[in-house]
Amino acid sequence: MEKKKVKDYMTYDVVTIDAHGTVKDVIDTIKKTHHDGFPVVEKNSNRVVGYVSARDILFAHPSTPVEQVMSRHLIVADPEMSVNDAARVIFRSGIQKLPVVNEKNELIGIISNADVIRSQIEHVSPEKVFKFMETLKKLYGIEPTLRRGSVPIDELLPTQSKIYEDELEGRIYEIKKGLAEPLIVVRRPGRWILVDGHHRAIAAKKLGIKNLDAYIIEIRENIELGMERTARALNLKSLDDIKVLDYARHPLVALTHRQVGHG
């Protein structure tokens, strides 16, 4: 995860407010973009001097200069900063977006909490791999071995029946940037079984990529695993059998909407 940097996930095309503008300019920009906050910059130098949000202008007259309502207490990110560090700042400070600046304080991008979450989804850790291997040992009394290698996408047996559109877009972005995490795959005689990384596998397929990097757990014994029986019960034979669901149907989003509704 530490190799993922802010510059890989930030948005480069940033909407800004002129430091010499007025609250009316902020209102117009909110209406036009549907964003709720913007870096304030000196237009001639692109240097960041503040940040203005919808909350800052609540009781201000439209003719009020932006400089009077903007926040000058700026928290910014460096493009070389790890996404993990940016995540800590965003979630501990409660700030939704961090302007990304160079050493001259010139604006080069913005990273939001959504960008950070996208970078973290489906994070594979070696602990996850070793825990899974321990489970296999206990369940089947076998001694699996581990290697890192390339696996053929089209030969993978999926063990998950659905994925989500928003996460798929995130994985496509990561693969294009060369940032994708390895899959976790079980290799047994005659079978490649996809344990973890269904979004990444589908993303690779959509991009026309034939092979992906993976943690390959090798099993010499020709035994059918429980997850293979699950795949059969779900009628899964290849990646084409996985349903891609719209983001709005994601259980996390449904939960958030419910909480908002009761607020």
Burial of 72 (0-12, 13-18, 19+ CB in 10 A): exposed
Tell me the CA distances in angstroms from 29 to 18, 66, 69, 140, one per residue in order.
11, 13, 16, 61
Residue 98 tokens read as 């961090």
Condensed to tens digits (0 to 9), the pLDDT of residues 148-163 reads: 999 999 999 999 999 8
Condensed to tens digits (0 to 9), the pLDDT of residues 26-83 reads: 999 999 998 889 999 998 899 999 999 999 999 999 999 999 999 988 889 999 998 8
Condensed to tens digits (0 to 9), the pLDDT of residues 58-73 reads: 999 999 999 999 998 8
Assign 121 a pLDDT band (cuts: 50, 70, 90): low
Helix locations, the chain, DSSP H: 6-9, 23-33, 66-69, 83-93, 113-120, 126-140, 165-177, 198-206, 226-233, 251-262
Instruction: Give yes or no for residue 114 having a pLDDT over 90.
Output: no
pLDDT at 243: 92
Give the CA-trace dihedral at 14, 17, 19, 25, to 10 degrees: 170
Q: Tell me the longest C-alpha to C-alpha distance in the chain.
A: 76
Angle at Cα 152 formed by Cα 224 and Cα 162, nearest 5°? 65
pLDDT at 26: 96
Predicted TM-score (pTM) of this structure: 0.57
Condensed to tens digits (0 to 9), the pLDDT of residues 220-260 reads: 999 999 999 999 999 999 999 999 987 544 444 444 443 43
More confident residue, 114 or 111: 111
